[in-house]
Structure formats: structure tokens, C-alpha cells
Amino acid sequence: MLNCSFSHIPSVGAATERKIWNSGITSMDDFIKSPPDFLSKNKSIKIAEHIQLSKEKMTTRDARYFYDNLPTKESWRMFCEFQDTTVYLDIETTGLGSPRDIITTIALYDGKSIKHYVNGENLNDFKNDIMQYDVIVTYNGKTFDVPFIENYFGISISHAHLDLRYILASLGYSGGLKSCEHQLGIGRTGSLADVDGFFAVLLWSDYKKKKNAKSLETLLSYNIEDVLNLEYLMIEAYNKNLNNIPLKLNTLAIPSTPDNPFEIDVDTVNRIKAQSYAY
């Protein structure tokens, strides 16, 4: 999609990009070969110069360049070209960010391997591992996950950041991650459907107070399920946005999802529910 895009180029807005496409020029290569007649010679030269820069940035795999220059609502366009250096990220915490709140677990999934981090065990490894990627995908990560991570570790997350909360909202899907999952056909079933952000806090508390390994495993299962589903949602969002573009471009296949290495312990979930929600 990036090779067909012009909206990241200065002075090329949505209307101009559409006119370029409608003139039969559907890629940056097409533009170099034959600029459209409706543009002045000087403007065509300037656009061509930016196209050469864009092609260089694609060759050097500079994701941040496109993230910084694409209109915010068009940031999804860069996903396909940088899918191989994208990671799906989700954190669990003890609260919304007060000074006493901590990160309990973090899950990463890059489309191939799953990594997880636990407070008190290997949480600090995250700081180095996240730097292996150029693009992160989250749900509401711009508002919550990334600021929390930056404050907690004292680091800067300067990656290109595709936040599905906004990308999906632009397509008409909203109401939280689980709601979007249901709307797009991947609703969670069984005990996993009973676990949410609040319940994740209870699981961590149970793990710390009672040393119950099943509580931690259940929390990690929930955390990892989030990042596995983020991949599906990102590809669905990319394909749906692609279908709104007046070009014939190939959509992305939904890959098979790896098995979650952790399982929900039903007895633990039921016990905590009974303790926490008893009248």
C-alpha cells in the first residue's frame, strides 16, 4: 500500500491523492514515469523528489519516517510493508497509573514467537526486547500502555505505533478490545470470557498473597490472548481499509494463531469470583 500512497508527501492531501489515482497513476513508480497533467510542472518535480526519498526510506526500512508523515487516520497503510518488524503489545497492571501502581505482566507477539514478562522475574528484559522491533500494535496503547511503560521503566518508546482503538473506531468498531473482538467474530469463550482488566488485578493479588501459580498462569493466558487477538484485528482493519481504497490491491491472509502456552484455571477463576463478588 505504501508504494501506492501519496498522502505522506507534503502538499498532497486526500483529494489530490484521489485525483492522482483517478488519472491512472496508482503507484509512486507510475508517477515518476508519467506525472499527471493536472499538476503543475514545479509541483510534480517536488512530489517526485519526495517519492525518491520515500523509496529510499522503504529500502532502509525506516518505519518512523512513514509514521511521522502519513496522516494519523492513514497510519494503517504502513502495516503491510513493516509487518515483519511489527510486534503486538499488551500490559497488565495493578491500576490505572497512580504512583503505587505497577506493571504485573507484559506480553509480546511478533507473528511468530510469544514472549512474556513477569514482575519480580524477568520484567526488565522487556526494555531490551522491545527495541528489536520498529512498529508496535496495541489497543488503547497510546493512552495507557505506552505512557505507563515509559513512566515505569523511565524509557522512551519511540516506535511507530498503530493503535487499534483509533484505527477500528474509524471503521465503525468501538467499545473496548473485547467488544471489537466480538464485532469482528473472535469473541472469547469459556472462562477466558470472565477475565477482564479488573479481574487481572485480582489474579495478581491472589498470586502474590497466596503464591498460587495457577493465578499467574491464568493472568498470563489472558494477557497473551490479548496480543494474539491483536494480530487478527490489525489484519482485519488493514484489509477493511484497503477495500475502501479505489485501487485493486491484495488483502492480507489471516495467519493461523499459535497455541497460548498458558491455560485458564477454571477453579481459580471461580474461587476468586466467589470471594470477590460475594454479597
Sequence-ordered alpha helix ranges (H) in the chain? 14-22, 28-33, 41-59, 63-69, 125-129, 146-153, 164-169, 177-183, 197-210, 213-243, 266-276
Confidence class for position 189, pLDDT limits 50, 70, 90: low
For the segment 16-34, what is each residue's pLDDT rounded down to a tens digit? Answer: 999 999 999 999 999 999 9
> pLDDT at position 55, please?
97
Q: What whole-number distance in Å separates Cα of residue 17 and Cα of residue 57? A: 20
> pLDDT at position 193, please?
63
Confidence class for position 98, pLDDT limits 50, 70, 90: confident
- CA torsion 185-242-251-163 (nearest 10°) is -60
Sign of CA dihedral 7, 13, 15, 16: negative
Those residues with Cβ within 8 angstroms of residue 166's Cβ, 6 or more apart along the chain or in another chain: 72, 73, 142
For the segment 237-262, what is each residue's pLDDT rounded down to a tens digit? Answer: 999 999 999 999 999 999 999 999 99
Average model confidence (pLDDT) across the chain: 94
Instruction: Say whether pLDDT at 279 is over 90.
Output: no
> pLDDT at position 53, please?
98
CB 188 within 8 A of CB 199: no
**Which CATH code for domain 83-276?**
3.30.420.10
Q: Using alpha carbons, list the distances in angstroms from residue 102 to 84, 204, 220, 249.
A: 31, 11, 16, 44
Closest CA to 44 of 80, 11, 8: 11
Per-domain residue ranges of the chain: 2-60, 83-276
For the question of whether the overall pTM of this predicted structure is more than 0.85, the answer is yes
For the segment 37-90, what is each residue's pLDDT rounded down to a tens digit? Answer: 999 999 999 999 999 999 999 999 999 999 999 999 999 999 999 999 999 999
Confidence class for position 197, pLDDT limits 50, 70, 90: confident
DSSP state of 60: T
Sequence-ordered alpha helix ranges (H) in 211-244? 213-243
Confidence class for position 150, pLDDT limits 50, 70, 90: very high
